[in-house]
A and B are shown apart, each in its own frame.
Chain A
Amino acid sequence: MTTPADPGPGRTVPSTQPAPQTVTDRPPGAGSDTAAGTLRPARPRWRETLGLLARNPTALIAALVVLGMIVVALLDEQLAPEGPNEIDVGARLQPPSPDHPFGTDDLGRDVFSRVILGAAVSLRVGLIAVSISLVVGTLIGLLAGFYGKWVDDVLMRLMDMLFAFPAVLLAISIVAILGPGLTNTTIAIGIVYIPIFARVTRSSVLGVREEVYVRAARSVGSSDVRLLARHVLPNAAPPIIVQTSVSLAFAVLSEAALSFLGLGTQPPDPSWGLMLSEGRGYIELAWWIAVFPGLAIFLLVLSFNLLGDGLRDVLDPRQRTAMSGGRQ
């Protein structure tokens, strides 16, 4: 069960771990003003990172799409020409037209408006769920990687157990217990992606914890909390940031899948996954009901993935091959 990015618990071989970002690891042209980088590690510098990211056209476009979706989600009701549940029985199953750019569904609701309103649902679930996995998973990975020994063994065994369940099935089971609905779906997705954050953080921490600057800080008497917060976490962050972007993609997909299965968002609320499952019955009569929400999911997921790739190139060039893609 070991992946190239993770040597698995019980094996702590920091030398084989991807080294942390130090000044010399920066891609040529990145510029390094702190040449004496032996004691002071180079932190990911935001302006520099964004600058490099902006030079990658694919990542730039992806970032713009994500940003656009966020704007759409924030402005939802002002942007949508009609309310999400305005039923117009006279205009059922209308094909796309200037009045209804994405057509209307079986109840005469405007598909375009519902797709716009669905953006907020997808993004909200994605952000909250990933926040849950990010906070819990990173904390577990930090503790496991930093303290090693039995802490590592216990925590990572637990993570392995959670990892043994297919993600969608685990989410379905959690929703089955908590009951269907948007909040429970969010919690379920959050739990499902904890192990991946724990693994990524752990293997990144393993590479950092024996660095000179960490040992130096320890030798001058820094507390564990200070060590972790000031020295380990900031330097172990790049792979975690990349994982966050990729996980947002999976979280959006998972929400759509669960809503499609009737376990997530409940009707009549607009959610892309739910719209897909409603449109499925009319696929031969009215393809637009299912096709447009699906395109929206695809676009958002693709953008998060491409953004993740771009971030990986900038922040964590060594992991490019080891971690590329791991859909679960």
Chain B
Amino acid sequence: MLIGVSIIVFALIQFVPGDPVRLALGTRFSQETYDALLERSGLDQPVLQQYFTWSGRALTGDLGVSFRSGEPVTALILERLPATLTLALAAILVALLIAVPLGTLSALRPRSLVDRGATVLSQIGISVPDFWMGIVFILVFAGTLGWLPSGGYVPLTEDPWGWLQRLIMPAIVTGVVSGSVITRFVRSSVLEALGQDHVRTAQAKGLPARQVLSWHVLRNALLPLVTVTGVQLAYLLSGVVVVEIVFAWPGLGQLALQAVQARDYPVLQGAVLLFALVFLLVNLVVDLLYSRLDPRIARR
């Protein structure tokens, strides 16, 4: 799997029509710069050898150098990684804060007003373009109301309050979309858990409703929730790309887009590879967590 992913990422640069180094350098450059870059990128070698050199280096954390700045790609990525991870984690937190109460409430009272409202809300959340919501948020909360800054990023260590202020809007915008998807899953898995025999037994033997809910229902509904949250966390990284642009959030998405605009293919390759790695990693963690949480799976 990992090999396949690395081949796809590697192939990116091979499919570029023309000479990627020449394209990246533009019109004015000296032959020496060109030769040096070509040699460093290894693009003058046969394809197979290129792949092995590239993947071998990638394994040791060397993703080549930027065509633009000459900086190591790994350093550029590491510089951006914390901002993206912060946003992704904050967003998934927002998503769960929306999804768990809303999904549970609507499952407890199916077809009620709350349920219908939640369904409508989640449908809206799935359909709304996140970048547009971001712009509207900026208009309302940064412009008209003036409560929050319209974008940017300050490290937590320098200015915790400023960090939080700038995190709120992008986290909500990214989280609402995932939250809407998760709400539907929470609703259906709580509904399913509610219909199970052991829940009926618990109710029949007269346990308080609260205890039935927390001990018998939510515990069982937790399993699908872990899966879908993991999948959403991975997808969320995709949404982050656009939201980062709207809020001038200096993360990996912004780096990837800048790399595209500057035809800086090694940086793009690095960013894409990292996103794919995170996706695979998240899925692996979900699988492991799943068997930890559900002893039935571990025993099989």
Contact = CB atoms under 8 A, between A and B. Distances in A.
Interface of A: 1, 3-4, 157-158, 160-162, 164-170, 172-173, 175-177, 179, 249, 253, 256-257, 260-263, 276, 279-280, 283-284, 287, 290-291, 294, 297-298, 301-302, 305-306, 309, 321, 324-328
Interface in B241-255: 241-242, 245-246, 253
A168 to B, nearest CB: 5
Interface string B259-300: 111010100100110011001100100010000000000000
Contact of A276 (B127, B132, B138, B259): B132
B242 A260 contact: yes
B16 interface: yes
Interface residues of B, number: 59
A166 B126 contact: no
Majority DSSP secondary structure for residues of A touching B: helix
A256 B234 contact: no
B16 A177 contact: yes
Contact of B127 (A279, A305, A326): A305
Contacts of B224: 4
B185 A324 contact: yes
Given A3-B227, A165-B5, A294-B129, 11 more contacts: A164-B5, A165-B275, A166-B234, A169-B272, A177-B16, A253-B129, A276-B135, A283-B139, A287-B139, A291-B139, A301-B127
B248 to A, nearest CB: 11
Given A168-B242, A327-B177, A263 B260 contact: yes
Contact of B260 (A176, A305, A324): A176
Majority DSSP secondary structure for residues of B touching A: helix
27 contacts: A3-B231, A161-B4, A164-B280, A165-B272, A165-B276, A166-B235, A166-B275, A167-B235, A167-B238, A169-B275, A257-B242, A261-B242, A276-B135, A280-B135, A283-B135, A287-B139, A290-B135, A294-B132, A294-B135, A298-B128, A302-B123, A305-B123, A306-B123, A324-B185, A325-B126, A325-B181, A327-B177
A280 B8 CA distance: 34
A292 to B, nearest CB: 10
Nearest to B129: A297
